[in-house]
Amino acid sequence: MPTVHFTANLAKHRDTPKVTVEAATVRAALDAATEADPLLRGYVVDEQGRLRKHVNIFVDGTLISDRLRLSDAVTPRSEIFVMQALSGG
């Protein structure tokens, strides 16, 4: 089953344990990982379920391509990292 990791930046705001979930897409994995914490979910996705601009998700070291539907596939061995995006100069 895929494992969802939240980086330390997000852990400053919410309890973010590593979670193993049953999922075939990033959307399903993220839904399962944030099901018990709506505030964490709200920090990661907006009201329409789209990834917020200040958040990036990597699956097995590759940045996801679908930020709107989160339809990127995951495998049972995937490592999914949810992290705060850095900006500025």
Q: What is the pLDDT of residues 9-62, one digit of tens each?
A: 777 777 777 899 999 999 999 999 999 888 889 989 999 999 999 999 999 999
pLDDT for the residue 88: 60
- Domain segments of the chain as ranges: 3-84
Q: Quickly name the fold that domain 3-84 has.
A: Ubiquitin-like (UB roll) (3.10.20)
- Bridge partners of 6? 82
> What long-range pairs does 10-19 form, CB within 8 A, spacing at least 24?
10/40, 10/43, 10/44, 10/82, 10/83, 10/84, 13/40, 13/43, 14/39, 14/40, 14/43, 15/40, 16/40
Does residue 87 have a pLDDT over 70? no
Report the pLDDT value the prediction gives residue 89, as an integer from 0 to 100.
Answer: 56
Which DSSP state fits 50? P
Please report which helix (H) or strand (E) contains residue 19, including its range. Answer: strand 19-20
